[in-house]
Chains A and B, each alone.
Chain A
Amino acid sequence: MAVDQSIQRRQSQLTRGKLPSYAVWVVLAAAVILGAALSSLIGFSVAGWAVISAIVFVIGATLVTAVAEGGRKATDRLVTYLVYGAFILALIPLISVLWTVLERGLPGLSYNFFFTSMNGITGAIDNQTVEDGTPVLGGAYHAIIGTLQITFWATLISVPIGLLTAVYLVEYGQGKSLTRAITFFVDVMTGIPSIVAGLFAAALFALLFGPGTRMGFVASVALSVLMIPVVVRATEEMLKIVPNELREASYALGVRKWRTITRVVIPTAISGIASGVTLSIARVIGETAPILVTAGFATSINWSAFSGWMSSLPTYIYYQILTPTSPTSPDPSTQRAWAAALLLIVMVMILNLAARFIAGLFAPKTSR
């Protein structure tokens, strides 16, 4: 009997012509060894080893499958590996960027960085710090203030316009051709290159106040061109999912339409709207190009968005890298740039997390 069973198991139709599960690991081990051998032939490096091993593994596993299981299974396996490989490939730059920013940015975060500006920091001072090995002087206080001011004004312009437009699209303009036009152009607006938005604001203020007008508020106008479409889309989506029963119940009680919108519809959707606004702030806070052409660049603190040039974190990073304060020893500038990059990423991440948190916090209590 025992002999019979083992024969039957070997002949099972379901598992016939299938690779045993350990086959993949065997191919992988062979690929890693072969990869080590091949990469040491052309000059060994860990990256080269990994790449060659991966290629050998994919080819090897596909060939083994093709022989044992047939062409269709082999194609399936190849595509599966390509899909996984693409994901790993996409992760490499993400991890590399985050690692670089953390590794190089952390040493630069100091009291000086947060609470002093670049006012009076010259190349000679940077050279001195490098020679003496003392902590880097100068920081991004002025840029932090600039970023907050510019973003604040941009938000103040964008949110009312975006919110009201979305209200029009959902509540008043259903089915009108104006609505279709606005929806279409809002979509198109999301694709405006940020530098063009900056040029627009610069051109607008050049016409109004004479050429070369640069101040924080011009940058805010440029950023709101980028921000409005994001706010409109997010708000529109949220208003659309407010149940119609709520509106009808309100109308049935004799409440006017604008009271219904402000007291029933918007409060129901407020969590989604708030998180959409937060995401739009996260999108524009890191914009560099529009600020570069509208707000200029400053090394000292400027509290007013309505007069004088203003610095912001992204332009601060840009100039510290491209034109180091001391051309002969750029290290202090690079360190300040990475510290600012870390601060900027942390700000963006906090905004993104806050958006999710807000969305969850005020989520309307749906009926079960």
Chain B
Amino acid sequence: MSSNLLKTPKDRGRAGDKIFSGVSLGAGILILVILFSVAMFLVVQASPVFTADPETVTGGEGFAAYIFPIVVGTVIAAAIALLIATPVGILVALFISHYAPRRLARIFGYVVDLLAAIPSVIYGAWGYLVLAPQMSTIFTWLAENLGWIPIFAGPASQTGKTILTAGIVLAVMVIPIITSLSREIFLQTPNLHEEAALAMGATRWEMVRMAVLPFARPGIVSATMLGLGRALGETMAVALVLSPGLLSASLISSGNQTIAAEIALNFPEAFGLRLSELIAAGLVLFVITLIVNMIARLIISRSKEFSGAN
């Protein structure tokens, strides 16, 4: 798109052209610099903890021993969230794209987007004051009847503030992400494929299974990965809903902690080495979510090339 084919005699505005293209190039590079400096500043501020005497780190056994349980806790919370959110999110997306009456589908789409618009602290407050008390009765029942399964081992939390409750709140926050991305891809399914399946006498589900889902598989995978990224990094819902503790296999007694909540709960009072520790924990979280997001984006860009979508 070269524009300077026509040169005015006085060359008026040539400087403007240069400045404007330079400034916009600078803005683009600035974004790369920001992302790079996010990583750099975190590394610099976190570095004292890696060289520190293991005894001075919280827990007294070095950074690895400190970070491991909360990484596992983060993964547990995210796993619970995805186990619930992936099937529900995909089915809701199918509902909006293929099952709901055409005229209502748009409105339902807005409604699901509304779920995404609610600030996370409000979900946290809701989980803390509404969901957790409700869950405690279910937990008691689970501990009594299914207590022999390690994940439902008692004693059940009386407040309901456990990692399972946190996982459910996270699931509610992840569903709209998975839904809106999957919906976009379901809607891109070639109409001819769908009509061909229906013309062969397929039922609606057979049409979805044979025409829509194979087409959308990479999209679903990457939507789930992006949901995972959100669930891993979500802070407030966990900070409010979970009453933290040591790593434990039981999902219904208080215990476990996630990286993001650990930072949020302890950062305001932290100083010195504790501060570096928390920033290092943030760095670990950053690296994990970065990897998850990059894989998701790679899958999306690959599937775009192959499917002919867009």
A residues contacting B by CB (< 8 A) are: 72-73, 75-76, 79-80, 82-87, 89-91, 93-94, 96-97, 100-101, 160-165, 167-169, 171-174, 178-179, 181-182, 184-197, 199-200, 202-204, 206-207, 211-212, 225, 228-229, 232, 247, 251, 254, 256-262, 282, 285-289, 292-293, 296-297, 314, 317-318, 321-322, 334, 337-338, 341, 344-345, 348-349, 352
Contacts and interface: CB of A to CB of B under 8 A. Distances in A.
Contacts of A173: 25, 28
B27 A164 contact: yes
A192 B233 contact: yes
A87 B126 CA distance: 20
Given A84-B99, A90-B88, A196-B286, 17 more contacts: A72-B203, A85-B91, A86-B87, A90-B89, A90-B115, A161-B30, A163-B27, A165-B31, A168-B24, A188-B297, A191-B290, A193-B260, A204-B37, A211-B271, A232-B31, A259-B13, A337-B125
B235 A288 contact: yes
B293 A191 contact: yes
A225 B38 contact: yes
B209 to A, nearest CB: 9
A288 B236 contact: yes
Contact of B240 (A89, A161, A285, A321): A321
B41 A207 contact: yes
B296 to A, nearest CB: 8
B117 interface: yes
Contacts, number: 287
5 tightest CB-CB pairs across the interface, nearest first?
A193-B233, A286-B119, A86-B91, A164-B27, A258-B20
A191 B226 contact: yes
Interface of B: 1, 3-6, 8, 13-14, 16-17, 19-21, 23-32, 34-35, 37-38, 41-42, 44-45, 87-89, 91-92, 94-96, 99-100, 108, 111-112, 114-115, 117-126, 128-130, 172, 175, 179, 203-206, 208, 226, 229-230, 232-236, 239-240, 260, 263-264, 267-268, 271, 275, 278-279, 282, 285-286, 289-290, 292-294, 296-297, 301
Nearest to A285: B119
17 contacts: A85-B91, A90-B112, A90-B115, A94-B114, A101-B122, A188-B293, A191-B293, A192-B290, A195-B285, A196-B38, A293-B264, A293-B268, A296-B268, A321-B125, A321-B129, A337-B125, A344-B121
Contact of A288 (B119, B230, B292): B119
A94, A171, A262 — most chain B CB neighbours (10 Å) = A94
Nearest to A86: B91
B286 A192 contact: yes
A295 B260 CA distance: 17
A41 to B, nearest CB: 14
Contacts of B4: 257
Contact of A83 (B5, B91, B129): B91
B292 A172 contact: no
A322 B4 CA distance: 62
B236 A318 contact: yes
Contacts of A254: 6, 8
B31 to A, nearest CB: 6
A190 to B, nearest CB: 8
A75 B203 contact: yes
Nearest to A259: B13
A203 B31 contact: no
Contacts of A75: 203, 205
A195 B263 contact: yes
B94 to A, nearest CB: 5
B38 A197 contact: yes
B292 to A, nearest CB: 7
A182 B285 contact: no
A224 B94 CA distance: 34
A80 B99 contact: yes
A203 B44 CA distance: 9
Given A83-B95, A188-B294, A200-B37, A256 B16 contact: yes
